[in-house]
Amino acid sequence: MAATVEIVPPISTREPHGEFRNSVLTDFSREDNARAMRDALRKVHSELGREYDLVIGGKMVTTKDKIKSANPARPSEVVGVHQKAGAEHVEPAMQAAIKAFEFWRTTSWQERASLLLNASALIQQRRFEFNAWMVYEVGKNWVEADADTAETIDFLEFYAREALRLAKSTAPVQLAGERDHLQYIPLGVGAVIPPWNFPCAIMAGMTSAAIVCGNTVILKPSSDSPTIAAKFFEVLQEAGMPDGVVNFCPGSGSTFGNALVEHPRTRFIAFTGSKEVGLDINARAAQPRKGQLWIKRTVLEMGGKDSIVVDADCDLDSAVEGVVASAFGFNGQKCSACSRAIVEESIYDVFLARLRDRVAKLSLGDPVENKNAGPVVNEGAMKSILNYIEIGKQEGRVIAGGARATEAGDGYFIQPTVIADIAPNARLSQEEIFGPVLAVIKARNFEDALEIANNTEYGLTGAIYTSSADKIERAKRDFHVGNLYINRKCTGAMVGAHPFGGFNMSGTDSKAGGPDYLYLFTQAKSIGEKVK
Residue 324, CA distances (Å) to 332, 344, 390 in order: 10, 17, 21
Scored b (16 or more CB within 10 A) or e, 326-337 reads bbbbbbbbbbbb
What angle do helix axes 316-328 and 348-360 make, rounded to 10 degrees?
A: 50
Collapsing DSSP states into helix, strand and coil, what is residue 406? Answer: helix
Q: What band does 341 get if pLDDT is binned at 50, 70 and 90?
A: very high
Q: What pTM was estimated for this model as a whole?
A: 0.96
Rounded to the nearest 5°, which phi and psi values hold at 446? -65, -40
Q: What residues are labeled active site?
A: 301, 335
The candidate with the shortest Cα–Cα distance to 86, out of 180, 220, 234, is 220
User: Given the DSSP bridges, would you call strands 338-344 and 50-52 parallel, antiparallel or unpaired?
Assistant: unpaired
> What is the tens place of the pLDDT at every residue in 351-380?
999 999 999 999 999 999 999 999 999 999
Residue extents of the structural domains in the chain: 31-302+510-526, 306-494
Determine whether domain 306-494 maps to CATH 3.40.309.10. yes
> What is the tens place of the pLDDT at every residue in 506-528?
999 999 999 999 999 999 999 99
Amino acid at 416: P
Collapsing DSSP states into helix, strand and coil, what is residue 139? Answer: coil
Calpha distance 532→528 (Å, rounded): 13
The candidate with the shortest Cα–Cα distance to 428, out of 401, 398, 472, 408, is 398
Collapsing DSSP states into helix, strand and coil, what is residue 215? Answer: coil
The candidate with the shortest Cα–Cα distance to 379, out of 179, 224, 166, is 224
Q: What band does 4 get if pLDDT is binned at 50, 70 and 90?
A: very low
* pLDDT for residue 158 is more than 90: yes
> What is the tens place of the pLDDT at every residue in 89-138?
999 999 999 999 999 999 999 999 999 999 999 999 999 999 999 999 99
The candidate with the shortest Cα–Cα distance to 498, out of 458, 460, 464, is 460
* pLDDT for residue 12 is more than 60: no
Give residues with Cβ within 8 angstroms of 96, minimum separation 6: 56, 57, 58, 243, 244, 247
Calpha distance 416→399 (Å, rounded): 10
* pLDDT for residue 7 is more than 70: no
- The C-alpha angle 359, 361, 364, rounded to 5 degrees, equals 90
> What is the tens place of the pLDDT at every residue in 241-281?
999 999 999 999 999 999 999 999 999 999 999 999 999 99
Per CATH, the number for 31-302+510-526 is 3.40.605.10
